[in-house]
Amino acid sequence: RTVVMLFTRDLRVRDNPALSLACTTADRVVPLFVRDPALSVPPNRERFLLESLADLRESLRGKGGDLVIRHGDPVAETVKMARQVDATGVAMMADVSAYARARQRGLESERLMVKALPGVTVVPAGEIKPTTGGDQYKVFTPYFRAWQSHRWRSIAPTPKRIAVPEGLSAGQIEALPSVPEWTGGETAALKRLKKWRPLSDGYAEHHDDLAGDRTSRLSPYLHFGCLSPLELATAGLHDAFVRQLCWRDFYHQLLATFPAMARKAYRAGAVEQWHDDEEALQAWQTGHTGVDIVDAGMRQLLAQGWMHNRARLITASYLTKSMGLDWRAGADWFMRHLVDADVANNYGNWQWVAGTGTDTKPYRKFSPARQAQRFDAEGQYVKRWLGFDPPIRGKG
Ligand code: FAD
* Entry field: residues in the chain: 396
Predicted local confidence at residue 135, as pLDDT: 81
Residue 347 CA neighbour count, 13 Å, CB half: 20
Which CATH architecture best describes the domain 121-152+187-257?
Answer: Alpha Horseshoe (1.25)
Taking the whole predicted model, whether its pTM rises above 0.95 is answered as: yes
Q: Is 137 annotated as a binding residue?
A: no
310 lines ligand 1 (CB under 6 A): no
The band of 395, judged by pLDDT with boundaries at 50, 70 and 90, is: very low
ipTM (interface predicted TM): 0.99
pLDDT tens-digit readout, 11-61:
999 999 999 999 999 999 999 999 999 998 999 999 999 999 999 999 999
Residue 47 CA neighbour count, 13 Å, CB half: 15
pLDDT tens-digit readout, 272-296:
999 999 999 999 999 999 999 999 9
Look at ligand 1, atom 15, and give the residue with the nearest C-alpha. 244
Predicted local confidence at residue 396, as pLDDT: 40
Predicted local confidence at residue 271, as pLDDT: 87
Instruction: Decide: 362 and 270 in contact? Cβ < 8 Å.
Output: yes
Predicted local confidence at residue 160, as pLDDT: 97
224 lines ligand 1 (CB under 6 A): no
Angle at 311 between CA 148 and CA 296, to 5 degrees: 160
Residue 132: pLDDT above 90? no
User: Considering the chain, what percentage of its residues have pLDDT values greater than 70?
Assistant: 98
Q: Yes or no: is domain 265-386 CATH 3.50.30.30?
A: no
Residue ranges covered by each domain of the chain: 2-119, 121-152+187-257, 265-386
Q: Is 342 annotated as a binding residue?
A: yes
Q: Which whole number is the average pLDDT over 175-188? A: 90
Q: Which whole number is the average pLDDT over 353-358? A: 95
Q: How many CB atoms lie within 10 A of CB 5?
A: 31
Predicted local confidence at residue 179, as pLDDT: 83
300 lines ligand 1 (CB under 6 A): no
CA distance 357 to 266: 5
Q: How far is CA 321 from CA 130, 218, 264, 291, 340, in A?
A: 31, 29, 18, 14, 24
pLDDT tens-digit readout, 240-273:
999 999 999 999 999 999 999 999 999 988 989 9
Q: Which whole number is the average pLDDT over 205-231? A: 97
The band of 134, judged by pLDDT with boundaries at 50, 70 and 90, is: confident
Q: Do domains 2-119 and 121-152+187-257 have the same CATH topology?
A: no
User: What ligand 1 atom has the least distance to the C-alpha of 223?
Assistant: 25
Residue 394: pLDDT above 90? no
247 lines ligand 1 (CB under 6 A): yes
Q: Which whole number is the average pLDDT over 166-195? A: 93
Strands 89-93 and 114-117: parallel
338 lines ligand 1 (CB under 6 A): yes
First to last CA, the chain: 51
pLDDT tens-digit readout, 53-112:
999 999 999 999 999 999 999 999 999 999 999 999 999 999 999 999 999 999 999 989
Predicted local confidence at residue 392, as pLDDT: 56
Q: Is 375 annotated as a binding residue?
A: no
Predicted local confidence at residue 391, as pLDDT: 65
CA distance 213 to 383: 14
CA distance 312 to 352: 12
Predicted local confidence at residue 208, as pLDDT: 97
133 vs 298: which has the higher pLDDT? 298
Which CATH architecture best describes the domain 2-119?
Answer: 3-Layer(aba) Sandwich (3.40)
Q: Is 7 annotated as a binding residue?
A: no
